[in-house]
């Protein structure tokens, strides 16, 4: 009986191994079928994308004017509508860019006009100050002789808005500038 039990256990062990291999094989077959289905889906997607790429390449070629002789009248009319739609989009984008450029330039124009007005006012103030100095010099006891020239010399300060000032008296040599 002990011998029968051993034979039974060995048989059971081998039967379990056979069943495990069968189940593993079945799992592998299922995985292969899933992989096969996935590959088929990828192949069909690849084929569809290749066809779409081919169509788009042909459309671009036609838009560029290549192979127009091979097109039928309907295809030529379709191509013409596509080109017109493209031109409309291009004109719209170009118009928008031009409008933005105009707005930017108008802003710069306003800014420049303000700067010009400010500079004019500063020049008026400088002119008034110079006139006052001349008037004071003419009225003072130590007035400058009328033969003494009035000179405008550049200021040494680079940060100044106005780059001129008035000096009374004899001409200054250019070396001193």
Residue pLDDT, tens place only, 133-165: 777 766 664 544 555 455 544 445 555 555 555
Alpha carbon 3 to its chain's center: 88
Q: Which helix (H) or strand (E) holds 53?
A: helix 2-63
Please say which residue of 46, 67, 88 terminates a domain.
Answer: 67
Q: Please check whether residues 60 and 88 belong to one and the same domain.
A: no
54-84 pLDDT tens trace: 988 888 888 788 878 888 899 889 888 988 9
* Portion of the chain with pLDDT greater than 70, in percent: 72
Q: Please check whether residues 101 and 115 belong to one and the same domain.
A: yes
Alpha carbon 31 to its chain's center: 49
Which range marks the domain in which residue 103 is found? 71-124
How crowded is residue 69: how many other Cβ atoms within 10 Å of its Cβ? 5
Q: Please check whether residues 48 and 75 belong to one and the same domain.
A: no
Tokens for 75, please give them: 């295809």
How crowded is residue 151: how many other Cβ atoms within 10 Å of its Cβ? 14
Please say which residue of 124, 150, 167 terminates a domain.
Answer: 124
Q: pTM score > 0.85 for this model? A: no
pLDDT at residue 74 in the model: 92
The answer as to whether 167 is a domain residue is no
The answer as to whether 96 is a domain residue is yes
86-129 pLDDT tens trace: 999 999 999 999 999 999 999 999 999 999 999 999 998 888 88
Backbone φ and ψ of 109, nearest 5°: -60, -45
The answer as to whether 49 is a domain residue is yes
Cα–Cα distance for residue pair 165/128, rounded to 1 Å: 12
The answer as to whether 150 is a domain residue is no
Q: Please check whether residues 30 and 57 belong to one and the same domain.
A: yes
The answer as to whether 16 is a domain residue is yes
pLDDT at residue 176 in the model: 46
> In this structure, what is the dihedral angle of CA atoms 116, 120, 126, 131, given to the nearest 10 degrees?
160
Contacts of residue 82, Cβ cutoff 8 Å, sequence gap at least 6? 59, 63
The answer as to whether 160 is a domain residue is no
The answer as to whether 57 is a domain residue is yes
Cα–Cα distance for residue pair 69/55, rounded to 1 Å: 17
Q: Please check whether residues 58 and 21 belong to one and the same domain.
A: yes
Q: Please check whether residues 19 and 36 belong to one and the same domain.
A: yes
Q: Please check whether residues 102 and 62 belong to one and the same domain.
A: no
Please say which residue of 86, 109, 124 terminates a domain.
Answer: 124
Please tell me the total count of domains within the chain: 2
Cα–Cα distance for residue pair 60/160, rounded to 1 Å: 60
The answer as to whether 159 is a domain residue is no
Query: Whats the size of the chain, residue-wise?
Result: 177
CB 82 within 8 A of CB 58: no
Q: Please check whether residues 14 and 62 belong to one and the same domain.
A: yes
Instruction: Tell me the average pLDDT across 23-28.
Output: 80
Q: Please check whether residues 19 and 63 belong to one and the same domain.
A: yes
């Amino acid at each position: 009986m002990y011998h029968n039990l051993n034979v039974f256990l060995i048989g059971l062990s081998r039967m379990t191994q056979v069943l495990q291999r069968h189940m593993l094989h079945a799992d592998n077959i299922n995985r292969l079928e899933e992989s096969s289905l996935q590959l088929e889906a990828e192949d069909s997607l690849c084929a569809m994308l290749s066809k779409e790429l081919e169509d788009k390449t042909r459309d671009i070629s036609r838009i560029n004017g290549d192979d127009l002789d091979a097109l039928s009248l309907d295809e030529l009319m379709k191509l013409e509508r596509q080109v017109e739609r493209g031109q409309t989009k291009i004109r719209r984008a170009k118009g928008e860019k031009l409008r933005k450029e105009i707005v930017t330039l108008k802003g710069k124009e306003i800014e420049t006009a303000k700067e010009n007005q400010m500079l004019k006012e500063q020049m008026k103030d400088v002119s008034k100050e110079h006139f006052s100095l001349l008037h004071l010099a003419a009225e003072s006891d130590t007035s400058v002789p009328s033969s003494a020239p009035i000179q405008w010399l550049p200021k040494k300060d680079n940060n100044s808005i106005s780059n001129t000032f008035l000096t009374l008296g004899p001409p200054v040599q250019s070396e001193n500038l």
